[in-house]
Amino acid sequence: MVAGVVLAGTLVAAGAAPAGVATEKVGRIAHDLAEGYAAKRPLGGGETLAVFTFRCPLALEKQQVGFAVAELLLREMAQTAKFRVVERSEMKRVLEEHAFSLTGAVDSDSAVKVGKLLGAKLGAMGSVDALGSQYQLNARLVDLESGEVLATGFQEVPREAFEVEAGNYLNLVPEEQAVGLYGAFAYGFSGATYTPELSYTGGSTSGGASFTNHAHLTGVSSLPGEVGVGVRYLALRHVMVDLGFWPIGYNVRFAGTVDRNGTWSDGGTVDAEFKGLGGEVAVFWTSRFGRRFRWFAGAGVSGFSMTKVDNNAGSGAAAVKAQFNIVGPQNNVTPMIHGGMEWRPAGRFGWLVSIFLCPSPHTYPIAWGEINGNHMEAGTFVMPTAGLVTTAALYF
């Protein structure tokens, strides 16, 4: 007799929580099996029972529906106090040793063989079929030594309720041909430079006189945060294609003083927000890491187009009529490298955290001037060379 069994009383306390619709329906099956067994073998009791994964169509098998039914039934059978139920850990060990899968269904002949290996005299097994919005559960209790069917049970369970209550056991997102829609936030570690002294003469005041502008810049900082959306496609079991779109909004802040026609301002700041659109296509190699996690690594290309610069007043007199603009090419394409981990706390929801590297980030020259004046190069803004991305995805 295998030592790894769960006594019925062990799970009685665990079942104290209110049962949902699906759990209640599976509980009725367990009751019918136990009562049918008692009717045929009134002197029996305490025999070792193995609960096997239920057979189901391929689509449901990929979602592990049959495995989930078996898990719910195992818990309910243990609470009947008529059987000693084989622990899943012990069953998994024996199945793996003999090239069976815990989540895969076994036929009657295999069940007899596995039952002997487990020291189980009884086996609970059955089938699951989908009919509209219902799952049809057919179960039977079998004497693994003689093959005699001792009892049967049948229930229809609402699919929605079952997927909620058995969500911990289900894999509602297939390993292949799955699509995920996501929202994302990215923070990149960018760079920026500035030219300390800038001066030009040109333009005119409202009265027609020319003027001279001089800037003394003392620092520059940037805030490269992005919010985006995208779609993922699991083309193959280990291959994922990702397409993302990013409305860009990088804020660059210049600090310093401005002199116009010999009048120096107090120290202050001028903000310039660089706006545009970005996109990326990438291909990843991905694989499961445990039941709830999936890692991935891959590469792709990103394209950015800076289309607008908004100059904000900033603070202090240094902001007087100062304006920044991008000079030179405003479109670029760069290679990207990604790696990260996704957590699937629920069947269709995934939360991903990853890092990205850009081996050759694009650099944008920045010019400074006034609306009607000449422009001098004030510095550069470098697209992020590395950063963090987090996404929340819903899979279908």
Query: Which pLDDT band, with edges at 50, 70 and 90, does 357 fall under?
Result: very high
Altogether, the residues listed in the chain come to a count of 396
CB atoms within 10 A of CB 158: 16
Q: Among residues 232, 174, 252, 250, which one has the least CA distance to residue 352? A: 232
Q: Is the pLDDT confidence value at 6 over 60?
A: no
For the segment 263-281, the average pLDDT, to the nearest whole number, is 70
* Of 48 and 13, the one with more pLDDT: 48
For residue 374, what pLDDT is reported?
A: 56
Average of per-residue pLDDT across 70-77: 92
What is the pLDDT of the chain when averaged over all its residues? 78
- Tokens encoding 275: 């706006």
pLDDT of residue 206: 46
- According to the model, what pLDDT value does residue 114 have? 82
- Domains, the chain, in order of start with CATH, read 5-165 (3.40.50.10610), 178-395 (2.40.160)
CA 193 to CA 198: how far, in whole Å?
14
- 15-29 pLDDT per residue, tens: 434 468 999 999 999
> Regarding predicted confidence, which is higher, 51 or 199?
51
Query: 212-230, pLDDT tens digit by residue?
Result: 556 666 666 655 667 889 9
The pLDDT of residue 106 is above 50: yes
Distance CA 177, CA 183 (A): 20
pTM passes above 0.85: no
DSSP letters along 322-341, please? -EEEE-S--EEEEEEEEEEE
pLDDT tens digit sequence for 164-185: 888 778 876 766 778 899 999 8
Residue range 290-295: mean pLDDT, rounded = 82
**Which of the given ranges, 217-221, 226-230, 281-285, 345-349, has the highest pLDDT on average?**
281-285
Statement: residue 264 has pLDDT above 50: no
Name the one residue in this structure whose structure tokens are 């002199």: 259
Residue 360 confidence (pLDDT) above 50: yes
The mean per-residue pLDDT over the stretch 228-256 comes to 83
Per-residue pLDDT, 292: 79
Query: Of 55-59, 173-177, 317-321, where does the model show the most confidence?
Result: 55-59
Report the pLDDT value the prediction gives residue 1, as an integer from 0 to 100.
39
Q: What is the mean pLDDT of residues 46-66?
A: 89
User: From CA 51, how far away is CA 46, in angstroms rounded?
Assistant: 15
Joined tokens for residue 25: 């329906």
How far is Cα 349 from Cα 351, in angstroms, rounded to an integer?
Answer: 7
- What percentage of the chain has pLDDT greater than the value 90? 31
Does position 273 have pLDDT exceeding 60, yes or no? yes
107-147 pLDDT per residue, tens: 777 778 888 888 899 999 999 999 999 999 999 999 998 88
| pLDDT value at residue 385 | 85
Identify the residue whose tokens are 């069976």: 100
pLDDT value at position 376?
Answer: 66
Higher pLDDT, 352 or 368: 352
Confidence at 3, pLDDT banded by 50, 70, 90: very low
Average pLDDT over residues 351-379: 75
Q: Do the Cβ atoms of 90 and 188 come closer than 8 Å?
A: no
- Report the b/e string of 166-183 with b at 16+ CB within 10 A: beebbbbbeeeebebebe
Calculate mean pLDDT across residues 101-112. Answer: 68
